[in-house]
Chain A
Amino acid sequence: MTHLPYIAASYGLFAIMALVFSVGAALRLKRDRIRLATLEQKAPRKAGAAPQS
């Protein structure tokens, strides 16, 4: 396999790209889901709290 470095570099680049995008998307989804759930929980409380102030 004299072309091994070229083959390894090709597969390695793909693996890095796939990992970066899939892990990045999963983390972004998780973070946004948590933030959205927190905000949606707070939103009615704020609406309820407004008349008291």
Chain B
Amino acid sequence: MSASPTFVARTGNFFHRYANPGQFLKLGARLQPWLTWPAILLTLTGLGWGLFFSPADWQQGDSVRIMYVHVPAAMLASAGYAGLAICGLLSLVWRHPLADLAAVEIGPVGASITALCLATGSLWGKPMWGTWWVWDARLTSVLVLFFLYLGHIALIRAFDDPQRGYKAAAILALAGAVDLPIIKFSVQWWNTLHQPDSITLTGAPTMSSSMLWPLALSALGMGLGFAAIVVARTRAAVMESRIRALLSSPRRRGNAA
């Protein structure tokens, strides 16, 4: 039993090493160009390759090109929520001050990328399935993820005391993480209209390398872009909290006097 608090304390020390806002601003400023420029380069290369140079699918024709936006968006929707859940864990267990600020900033970006995933899925579904939407397990579980993001955004701003909002949102983020394996395995657990995964960690991909490469590049580029935007927004949030502290300190002194 004594090993558990030691582990928690040790892990907490590791995370708190990067909790200092000043250190985070320095690290973020150094990291920003290394995320931003590769993101722009890889996304443009991947999407350009997918749009103009990759082959059309023998069954789906050119509409398969929607995949180069839809699949990375779907991956990022889940990855973003996993990030939100990690922030929730860091906030609840270790009271990491930056985890709450990061969670506030991940929410809108994650919700938008999930909306993009749903929209591009509909745009792909209409010509392929003949319908914009079906209450299929994969589509419905991603829609639930979108509502979880919206709930998180609303909850974190719903309290006068920000700490209560952070705590409630962290609990929602952790509880909502149960949707992630449901999204991942929905195409295996249920008979869905949505196709099974073409890329898995264990098996060989079931798509041609002429499609796989542009998809990998756009997924990597969009992933770095997501990280770059979240880092930039979190840096801005840290600066805003410093600004609020600077603005409120003379008032406090004035009130005390």
Chain A contact residues, CB within 8 Å of chain B: 1-4, 6-7, 9-11, 13-14, 17-18, 21-22, 25-26, 28-29, 32-33, 35-36, 39-40, 43, 46, 50
Contact = CB atoms under 8 A, between A and B. Distances in A.
Chain B contact-residue range equals 35 or more
Interface in B20-56: 43, 47, 51
Contacts, number: 83
30 contacts: A1-B62, A3-B62, A6-B63, A6-B66, A6-B123, A6-B124, A7-B62, A7-B63, A7-B65, A7-B66, A10-B119, A10-B123, A14-B47, A14-B69, A14-B73, A17-B113, A18-B225, A21-B109, A21-B112, A22-B232, A25-B236, A26-B232, A28-B232, A28-B233, A28-B236, A29-B232, A29-B236, A36-B239, A36-B243, A50-B253
A35 B243 contact: yes
Interface of B: 43, 47, 51, 61-63, 65-66, 69-70, 73, 109, 112-113, 116, 119-120, 123-124, 126-127, 225, 228-229, 232-233, 235-236, 239-240, 242-243, 246-247, 250, 253
B63 to A, nearest CB: 4
Contacts of B66: 6-7, 10
Contacts of B229: 21-22, 25
A7 B236 CA distance: 34
| B contacts with A: majority SS | helix
Nearest to A31: B236
A33 B243 CA distance: 10
Contacts of B233: 25, 28
Contacts of A28: 232-233, 236
Nearest to B47: A11
Nearest to A47: B250
Given A28-B236, A32-B236, A36-B243, 4 more contacts: A10-B120, A10-B124, A22-B225, A35-B239
Given A2-B61, A32-B239, A33-B239, A9 B247 contact: no
